[in-house]
């Protein structure tokens, strides 16, 4: 693959990671807002026994929301770092590609494309500074 094509793929991959990270953060914030609603129901139960269920739901939604926000932030950071061609971005992108492979279907597509781009010898040379 030519160097110009590799640089285009790296740029596109960075944008895709930024979008994927933004979606993760957005979904995480939505989960945290749902957790606030469940916590409100837990404090003011409408029916007998709903306080325990609402409390457990709120705790689970907070956990899921925090994981999504953290994962989204990491994906967005990798996307920005790939755009700047930082040397650590390639390794972080490869690690995230393996995680994203399990997030069917969009994560699988992103992970596959990440592996395709980041495992090229020309890509390695770009991130090692041999090619500018």
Per the structure, how many domains does the chain have? 1
How many other C-beta atoms can be found within 10 angstroms of the C-beta atom of residue 103?
15
The boundaries of the domain holding residue 94 are 3-128
> pTM value?
0.89
Contact present, 69 and 29 (Cβ < 8 Å): yes
How many other C-beta atoms can be found within 10 angstroms of the C-beta atom of residue 28?
20
Helices (H) and strands (E) in the chain, counts: 5, 0
pLDDT single digits (tens) 19-78: 999 999 999 999 999 999 999 988 887 777 788 888 999 999 999 999 999 999 999 999
Determine the Cα–Cα distance for residues 41 and 127; give it in Å rounded to an integer. Answer: 51
The Cα diameter of the chain in Å comes to 68
Q: What element of type H or E holds 69? A: helix 50-83
pLDDT single digits (tens) 66-121: 999 999 999 999 999 999 999 899 999 999 999 999 999 999 999 999 999 999 99
> Taking 70 as the threshold, does the pLDDT of residue 132 lie above it?
no
């Amino acid at each position: 693959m030519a160097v110009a094509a590799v640089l285009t793929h790296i740029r596109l991959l960075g944008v895709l990671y930024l979008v994927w990270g933004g979606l993760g953060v957005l979904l995480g914030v939505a989960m945290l807002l749902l957790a606030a609603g469940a916590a409100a129901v837990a404090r003011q139960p409408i029916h007998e026994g709903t306080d325990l269920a609402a409390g457990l739901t709120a705790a689970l939604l907070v956990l899921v929301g925090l994981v999504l926000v953290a994962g989204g932030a990491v994906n967005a950071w990798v996307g920005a770092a790939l755009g700047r061609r930082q040397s650590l971005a390639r390794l972080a992108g490869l690690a995230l590609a393996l995680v994203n492979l399990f997030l069917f279907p969009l994560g699988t597509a992103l992970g596959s494309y990440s592996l395709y781009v980041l495992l090229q010898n020309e890509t390695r040379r770009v991130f090692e500074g041999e090619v500018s």
